[in-house]
């Protein structure tokens, strides 16, 4: 009995971080979200914290993370901080996205978002960069997933779709559509994307920022990102 009591006391004395896990909202079917989650696993491992992920559509994910039901967001553009006061951006940015147009038949010279404004454009609902870039265009069709968008484009129900360049290439390859559907270059822009923590974890914020900053300065973050992306492309090959 005394031995069991000692074991229990020793377990209670373990550092809290070693027993901690956090669950972040992740949008399914978006490759850059998967890249981000793998980066976060490495970041939080440095703090002795296990990073878990809950897949939910973009708008529902924000509702759950901002309410505190989940612990934060895997990746979002910085605009989220203005819309949701309870979501704190972790700086520096952990990754970037390059919103780009993809088409089956069109061959356009891209000089900005307005290059596609006269066409039937598809976006993934809730993806802020796509919604912002296509705002005000007369023929914008939101879909629930990137795979749905590519299927619609292949079926000639859309003229052009918008997604992150890497993610679009990956999904096209996965669906066997990479010979028919191509990105229209250059990308519209390059946007930094940030990991977000719910404000209940405000005290953890500087510790996570320090890890990301150290990994960025050492070049480890860039190397890890490239390794993850290449592995994902090779898997679909």
Question: What is the CATH classification number for the domain harbouring 173?
Answer: 3.40.190.10
Confidence (pLDDT) at 6: 43
Confidence (pLDDT) at 237: 57
Contacts of 224 (CB under 8 A, 6+ apart): 38, 39, 42, 215
Same domain, 40 and 92: yes
Is 71 a member of any domain? yes
Confidence (pLDDT) at 76: 93
The CA–CA distances, whole Å, from 224 to 47, 51, 139, 196, 228 equal 18, 17, 38, 20, 6
Q: What's the structural domain count of the chain?
A: 2
Is 1 a member of any domain? no
Is 5 a member of any domain? no
Same domain, 53 and 79: yes
- Do the Cβ atoms of 205 and 88 come closer than 8 Å? yes
How far is the C-alpha of 54 from the C-alpha of 92, rounded, in Å? 23
Q: Which of 144, 166, 184 is the last residue of a domain?
A: 184
Confidence (pLDDT) at 122: 97
Is 157 a member of any domain? yes
Q: Are strands 191-198 and 140-143 parallel, antiparallel or unpaired?
A: unpaired
Same domain, 92 and 135: no
Is 7 a member of any domain? no
Same domain, 111 and 68: no
Query: What residue numbers bound the domain in which 117 lies?
Result: 99-184
- How confident is residue 235, by pLDDT bands cut at 50, 70 and 90? confident
Phi-psi region of 122 (alpha: psi -120 to 50; beta: other; left: phi over 0): beta
pLDDT at 17 over 50: no
pLDDT at 14 over 60: no
State the pTM of this model: 0.79
Q: Which of 184, 203, 225 is the last residue of a domain?
A: 184
Same domain, 105 and 41: no
Same domain, 115 and 82: no
Same domain, 200 and 91: yes
Mean pLDDT to the nearest integer, 165-176: 92
Is 2 a member of any domain? no
Confidence (pLDDT) at 8: 39
Collapse the DSSP code of 236 into the 3-class scheme (helix H, G, I; strand E, B; otherwise coil) and give the result. coil
- How confident is residue 111, by pLDDT bands cut at 50, 70 and 90? very high
């Amino acid at each position: 009995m005394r031995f069991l009591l000692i074991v229990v006391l020793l377990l209670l004395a373990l550092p809290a971080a070693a027993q901690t896990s956090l669950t972040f909202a992740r949008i399914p079917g978006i490759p850059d979200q998967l890249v981000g989650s793998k980066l976060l696993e490495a970041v939080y491992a440095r703090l002795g914290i296990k990073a878990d992920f809950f897949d939910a559509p973009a708008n529902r994910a924000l509702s759950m993370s901002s309410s505190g039901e989940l612990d934060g967001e895997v990746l979002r553009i910085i605009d989220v901080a203005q819309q949701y006061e309870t979501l704190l951006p972790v700086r520096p940015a952990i990754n970037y996205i390059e919103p780009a147009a993809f088409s089956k038949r069109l061959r356009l010279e891209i000089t900005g978002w307005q290059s596609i404004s006269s066409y039937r454009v598809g976006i993934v609902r809730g993806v802020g960069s796509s919604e912002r870039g296509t705002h005000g265009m007369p023929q914008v069709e939101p879909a629930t997933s990137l795979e749905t968008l590519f299927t619609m484009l292949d079926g000639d129900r859309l003229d052009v779709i918008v997604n992150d360049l890497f993610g679009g290439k990956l999904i096209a390859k996965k669906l066997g559509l990479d010979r028919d559907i191509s990105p229209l270059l250059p990308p519209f822009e390059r946007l930094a994307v940030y990991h977000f923590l719910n404000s209940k974890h405000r005290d953890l914020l500087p510790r996570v920022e320090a890890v990301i900053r150290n990994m960025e300065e050492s070049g480890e973050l860039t190397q890890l990102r490239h390794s993850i992306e290449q592995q994902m492309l090779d898997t679909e090959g």
